[in-house]
Amino acid sequence: MEKDLGFVRVAAATPAVRPADPAGNVRAIETCIFQAAAKGAAVIAFPELAVTGYTCGDLFKDRALMAAAEKSLFELIERTKDLEILCAVGMPVPSGGALYNCAAVFAKGRLLGLPAKQNIPVYSEFYEARHFSPAPESGVLRFHGAAYPAKDVVFALSEDVLVGAEICEDVWVADPPSVRLAKGGATVLLNLSCSDEIIGKAEYRRDMLRIHSGRLLAAYVYADSGFGESTTDMVFAGHDLICENGSLLKESELFTSGVICADVDVERLVQERRRMNTWRDGPACTVIPTGVALPDFETDRVMAPYPFVPNDDADLSERCETILRMQAAGLATRLRHIGAKTAALALSGGLDSTLALLVAVRAFDFLGLDRKGIHTVSMPCFGTTSRTKSNAQSLAEELGVSFAEIPIAASVTQHLSDIGHDLDTLDVTFENAQARERTQVVMDLANQLGGIVLGTGDLSELALGWATYNGDHMSMYAVNSSVPKTLVRYLVRHVARESGEALKQVLFDILATPVSPELLPPKDGEISQKTEDLVGPYALHDYFLYYMLRFGFTPRKIYAMALRSFAGAFDAETILKWLRVFYRRFFQQQFKRSCLPDGPKVGSVTLSPRGDFRMPSDAVSALWLEEIDRLGEENA
């Protein structure tokens, strides 16, 4: 099932080898191959020169050793022919008058290619240049009575799963072969290595390969030699790594042997390449079909349930501070450009308007403007509770900004009467009249003060269209427009933790208040209209939004991922229900996003029609909703 979702399981292995013992080494390699295949891996990489051992020295000149290595390799190919796995094993290959350090790539009983090391180090303690030649310019090696590609070759398991291989030193040079392989279509890159271990090298190796996978928008599988190689002058740690697009997926412990596996999201890699208009496919590589049928497996990879929020507390604190500075810088630039020294803000006592006010305070402080130039307005009406009204006033007082209370119940009642709307009919007209009245008041106040209106709506609300058109939908600068609701909460909490006791108490009470537009009358003095009861949990909607917009994933894939990410929090029926609501609202409400006010982009996902997202307001949602319906039928 998981291959249909774009995942492929890959493996890196460090077998325990002995120098100059091809038969024994191949038995250890074979054990690893069978272990990986049993786990559902479709690709496995082994260390450099694993068939003979890397530390053979001048024994590489011995014809008996080369003949034994060749015999052992083809015995290994024969013994693994029934497995659905592509193997890359380090092998010395004599061809003509030279010896080459190669990756023997084979599957289904066939040797497919011999990618040869292109950059032979002369500084190595074993002086590889003493024995090996760099890959031939012809790009072909003759071996075992046949010709095999040795450069610029990728091995295809499917349309998206294309594998390329380079060897150890190749990745350390300024222009690695893996760059050409990636441009030639390879999404999974293998490195067969024998890297001696010294203090600090593991950290450097890990960071370099992780970043390299990011710049190539690829998976990078690094297999390193370990126990069994000669320790005459050095030690080898077997430091295996699997990286994907800048992230470390799996890492072996140093000085261990065995197999590590990780599930690579190849669909995501392809989507990333298509999304980046600076990615250019390079000169075509030779593509060799492998005949491997991608095995079925159940992925153990779990995507973060809150993709907009870092998992690490230190990273989260730094991320929050950076976002607040970006929002404040955007607003400060706009204020200075238009010469405004005042701003008006509808302060409800909820999360979004709280964040907008915190940003405004930072912007005014940065510009050296008096905080009293920030005019916050509480506009109580039919649904306002004493808790939110009190928190709004306390927040304004603690931050030292101007505060006013302008009740709007009378004006809304007059308006509804003028259009002949019964006050007992608590419908969308009843709700939106309040939102539009608040916007009119704050707009007129901004004119009166010679300032601008700050918008408070967030990215999640824009995705769902959870805003009154020309009501809270509109402002003169929308500071929260690219901040999702799940992140809004963390931003406010970050400020609370850094604040004095009085402000901290207010902010934590705001954080504990249910999210609500407060447009319907309260029940027993408490909020009756809870947003997440109406449109669904923002945790789910932000998850759907991120993977749909950032990577173009299908509803089926997002649903399957969400089941794992939210296991124990939401059941399958709940996830499917709100997934349908998300797609339906996302398409229906595009017209609101087609005319958004300006606002700063702070993350990789934005819905501004002037920024990263273009969609016609009349786009049809049938394809996506039909797929969700099929999911419902399958789960019935």
What number of CA atoms fall less than 13 Å from residue 336's CA on the CB side?
Answer: 13
**Backbone torsion region of residue 6, taken as left when φ is above 0, otherwise alpha when ψ lies between -120 and 50, otherwise beta:** left
β-bridge mates for residue 264, sequence order: 8
CA distance 379 to 456: 15
Phi, psi values for residue 100, rounded to 5°: -125, 145
Tokens of 309: 């929020």
Q: Within the chain, what is the greatest distance between any pair of CA atoms?
A: 101
- State the catalytic residues: 48, 117, 168
CA distance 498 to 518: 29
**355-357-362 Cα angle (round to 5):** 100
Three-class SS of 233-294: CCCECCCCEEEECCEEEEECCCCCCEEEEEEEEHHHHHHHHHHCCCCCCCCCCEEEECCCCC
Beta strands in 317-383 (DSSP E): 343-346, 374-378
Tokens of 130: 């003493």
β-bridge mates for residue 45, sequence order: 12, 88
CA–chain centroid gap for 275, Å, is 13
β-bridge mates for residue 107, sequence order: 110
CA distance 546 to 305: 10
Amino acid (one-letter) located at 440: Q
Phi, psi values for residue 225, rounded to 5°: -70, 150
